[in-house]
Each structure stands twice: as structure tokens, then as C-alpha cells.
Amino acid sequence: MNSHAEPGTLRGVGVGPGDPELLTVKAARVIAAADVVAYYSARHGRSIARSIAASYLSDGQVLEPLVYPVTTETTDHPGGYEAAITEFYDASAERLAEHLSAGRDVVVLCAGDPMFYGSYMYLHERLAHLFPAEVVPGVTSISAATAVLGRPLVERDEVLTVLPGTLPADELTRRLADTDAAAVLKLGRTFPQVRAAFADAGRLDDAWYVERATTDIGRELPLAEVDPDGVPYFSLAVLTSPTGAAVAAGVSGQAGADAATGTDGSAGVDAERPAGEVTVVGLGPAGTKWLTPETAQALREAEHLVGYAPYVDRVPHRPGQHRHTSGNQVEIDRARHALELALAGARVAVVSSGDPGIFAMATAVLEVATTDERFGPVPVRVLPGLTAAQAAASRIGAPLGHDFAVLSLSDRLKPWAVIEQRLAGAAAADLVLALYNPASASRRWQVAAARDVLLRHRSAETPVVIARDVGRPGERISVVELSKLDPAEVDMRCLLIVGSSTTRVDRRADGSTVVWTPRTYPG
């Protein structure tokens, strides 16, 4: 024991991911020399950290098991889990403080690295300002996982994101879609939602699962093939370097580098590459939850993003990816710019809200691509997106359950006389109508004019759904009668659904309102 009057030193020691030979030389020395060795364990008494460090322990050392009051089970503590675990760390710190005050050096064993999701840090926060303290880093589970996979984690300017599996599913999806490489820890019971997040982000086929890396019972396999039953807490999901994945797939290292950065070493286009491609993608109405995996992959792979500024802003930033934004009334110029980038060899994604083929950029791109012979060699793909009409209808029930028509009230690209004729024709045919672009800052009279046209063919009580900002924080859905449709309540952020003669509005027992159109039609 330390006989000096000075207080002992607290050391948080990382013992690595599982293989005892992966302890650092310093960790082995510090563990062997400690007066007191503390380690965390569950109530069963077994400790992964202690088992890793067992061969480095010395005779005569005081062992201090710090037994968690709760792990996966529930607690009857009046303050719940947080209060129970805080009380545990407080009590553990007091126990170790007694040893330190008596001049005994204390080592706290920690699997992996003490400051990387390690429980040692909670003792460090309570004691490091009172006693001498030192942290001895260890090999993390992420380093171990990529080592056993034999795959690079990140290369060049790629971005690594580390995530706890306990995050909400939507947040996991968003962050997985917005990174080059990733590691998701704390699986166990969270595995089903983590796997779903990889799938929703379009990354499932690229992800790997590693369990108890570097141990005799470790295993690794594609994440998509993992049976969710029995996934332990000490496992993780990994997205490794996309550059490394390209090399593993048979692309040479230099070719992979050129594809990622361009021949001059900066993100851009290799002049010797053949023509690239333009992919026109639909982002859906809002948020990653309505982004298809196919679209998410296209956005990740694109070297250039082209689009209306608010839509491009909805795409997560990626290192090395160039953004080209413009206003809302220059679609042809935007399409030509995208095709010129692709003609020079770039992979270009043109973004639209909703579906790109419905009042959006797909037509503009194809118009330029088919009328300008320069762009003949450039492939153009169109990837569908969830439409605003579908999203709005789902929020209120099923108003599009029978035949319906989709019309835009914008007269910027067609005369109002044509719009009026089409409104009258669809109304006379008793079709439900989904009305896009109903109003804007400069177009305020069209809603009232459209209402008056429809009232010539529809009853005053016909339900109208006003859907604003569907899928976004300011979402608001309301239902009014056609005769009471107030143009002041409608702007460019709205979509209108006008019912047919058979469309019903029902108030359900749970207090909700549903609008639905029967699949059958009388007659």
C-alpha cells in the first residue's frame, strides 16, 4: 500500500475491446502497480473489463466491484432510472475517495476507452478536481471492428459519424444518410430500430455487424443478415469507407480517388472521364422519413446538387459535394447547368420537392436533354418521390380513394383560361381534385376564381382539405366547405383537395375527423 501522506492517484484505464493482448504497455504497467482495482459489473458479478485485465492483476491488490443497481431491468427507485444510476455513481465515487484519501492509488478498469462512452468518466467528473487523476486510453470497439473486418474506416476527407443506438429512429436515419462512414454502438434491444434506420437511409446493404470484436466468441457479418434475437449490447453496426468499399469491389485505388476527388485532387470532374449522368430526384414533401432509399443513395453518390435553394437546403451536406442553387423560376437554366456538368463527366442530382415528374424538374431536364443535341450522350434518370397530394391525403384519411385529377392553379406557364376550362371539365366529371400551387405572394385571386368555377358544378357543402406544410413542424390540416373556402387562408405552402359528390366527412369516436371517398360510384 502507498504509505505516503499525499493522496493517491485515480486512473481510468482502457483495457481495449476484448483481446488481453490489445492492452497498451502503459495500461498493463499501471494495472499491475495499483493498490486498488475497481471495475463495473452487473448483479451477476461478472465483469468484462476485469476478465480482459485478469492476467495483469497483482497479489495483494484490493478489488472493488462497482455493481450496477440496474442494467436492462426496471427499477423501483422513486426517482426512476436516472436517479438510481446517479445515486450509484455518487456512492461509487465516495468509496473510491476513501481509498484515495488514504493515499492508495486507484485504477478503474474500463472496456474499450475510458472517455469513449465509458462509465469511468462519471467517476472522473466527481473526483478529478479533488485528487490527482490520469486517463490511460484504450483501443475502442470501433477500431477493433474495422480491424477484424479488414476494411478502412475513413479515408482522405471522408467524415465519420459515431452514434448511440438509443437515438430516436428518425434521428438515426437522418445522420446515417448524412455521412460517409458511421459506427452505431449500444445495440442489444435497440437493434431492430437501428437496422430499420440503416434501411430507411438507404445504407443497409453497405453496413456490417460486429459482435464482441477480437474475442474468441466474436463474429462479423453483413448487417442485413443478422437475426435480431440475441444481439448483445457489446456489438456495433459499421459503415466503412466508401472509397475503401469501391476498392474492395474491384476499382483501383487511383481510379477510386479520381472518381471521388477529380484528377486535380479537389472535388470535381475528371476531364478524361466519359459523360456522367443526371439523376432527377424527388425529396418527398419533407424529411428523411419520406425519402426513398433509392433517392438517398443517389444523393450520396452525386458530386453536384442542382436545384431551387430551399430544396437543396433540405439535403444533408456531404464533404466534397458541390451545391448549385437558384431561384424558383429558372427551371430551364437549372436543367441546362446540370446537363453541362454531366457532359463534363460529373454525377449530378437535380432535386425537386415531392415527385420530380409532377409539376417539377424532370420535365425541364428532359426538355433540354432532348432538344439540345449536345446532351445526347448524357443519361437522364428520374427517381420518384412521395407526392404532396399523397402526403396530404394520408393526413386526413383517404379523399383520393376514387378517380381524381391533379391540376396546378399557377398561370405562369399556361393561360388562366386553360386552367378554368380544365377545372370546369374535372368538376363536371365529378372527380376529386388535388390543386397544386394554389397561390403565391404575387398570385392572390386564383383561389377565389377556382372556387367560383367549382361551385357551378359542386354543392356548397363539398369538403375541401387545406393541407399546409405537410410533414414539417408547422403542419396544419383543416377541412372547410367549398362555399366557405377563404383565399386568405391559402398560400404556396398549401395543397387543396376538393371532394367529389361522394366524398364524406366523418367525425370518429376518438374525436378525429376523416375525409374519404368511397371506391364505388353510384349508377
3-state secondary structure of 323: strand
Which class in CATH covers the domain with range 142-245? alpha beta
Sequence-ordered list of residues with C-beta below 8 angstroms from that of 146, at least 6 positions apart, any chain: 152, 153, 238, 240
> What b/e readout covers 423-449, taking b as 16+ CB neighbours within 10 angstroms?
beebbeebbbbbbbbbbeeebeebbee
* d(C-alpha 129, C-alpha 368), whole Å: 67
pLDDT at 265: 34
Residue 247 has pLDDT above 70, yes or no: no
Q: What's the distance, CA 360 to chain centroid?
A: 25
Average pLDDT over residues 239-260: 53
> Nearest-CA neighbor of 479 among 512, 435, 513?
513
CB 351 within 8 A of CB 281: yes
**Residue 172 is which amino acid?**
L
> What b/e readout covers 328-338, taking b as 16+ CB neighbours within 10 angstroms?
eeebeebbbbb
3-state secondary structure 354-377: ECCCCCCHHHHHHHHHHHCHHHCC
Residue 161 has pLDDT above 90, yes or no: yes
Locate 507 and state its grid cell: 367525425
Residue bearing the bigger pLDDT, 156 or 375: 375
pLDDT bucket at 492, cuts 50 / 70 / 90: confident
pLDDT bucket at 310, cuts 50 / 70 / 90: confident
Residue bearing the bigger pLDDT, 514 or 285: 514
pLDDT at 263: 36
* d(C-alpha 33, C-alpha 42), whole Å: 26
Residue ranges of alpha helices (H) inside 265-330 are 293-301, 309-312
392 vs 84, 234, 258, 502, CA distance in Å?
45, 42, 44, 19
> Which DSSP helix (H) or strand (E) runs through 443?
none
pLDDT at 205: 87
Tell me the pLDDT tens digit for each residue of 112-131: 999 999 999 999 999 999 99
Locate 306 and state its grid cell: 442542382
Within the chain, all domains assigned CATH 3.40.1010.10 are found at 10-138, 265-383
* d(C-alpha 348, C-alpha 365), whole Å: 12
**Residue 98 is which amino acid?**
E
Q: What's the distance, CA 171 to chain centroid?
A: 5
* d(C-alpha 308, C-alpha 327), whole Å: 6
Average pLDDT over residues 359-366: 94
pLDDT at 464: 96
Tell me the pLDDT tens digit for each residue of 174-233: 888 878 899 999 999 999 999 999 988 888 988 999 999 999 999 999 999 999 998 998
Phi, psi (5° rounding) for residue 163? Answer: -130, 140
Locate 80 and state its grid cell: 426512476
Mean pLDDT of the chain, nearest integer: 88
pLDDT bucket at 73, cuts 50 / 70 / 90: low
Partner residues linked to 106 by β-bridges: 10, 36
Query: The cell 383537395 sits on which residue?
Result: 497
Would you identify the CATH topology of the domain 10-138? Cobalt-precorrin-4 Transmethylase; domain 1 (3.40.1010)
Average pLDDT over residues 372-388: 93
* pTM: predicted TM-score of the whole model, two decimal places: 0.53
Right CATH for 265-383 from 3.30.565.10, 3.40.50.2300, 3.40.1010.10, 3.40.50.80: 3.40.1010.10
CB 395 within 8 A of CB 470: yes
**Span 389-516 CATH architecture:** 2-Layer Sandwich (3.30)
Within the chain, all domains assigned CATH 3.30.950.10 are found at 142-245, 389-516
* d(C-alpha 13, C-alpha 134), whole Å: 9
Residue 274 has pLDDT above 80, yes or no: no
Residue 516 has pLDDT above 70, yes or no: yes
> Which DSSP helix (H) or strand (E) runs through 421?
helix 416-428
Phi, psi (5° rounding) for residue 219? Answer: -155, 155
Residue 1 has pLDDT above 70, yes or no: no
* d(C-alpha 380, C-alpha 330), whole Å: 19
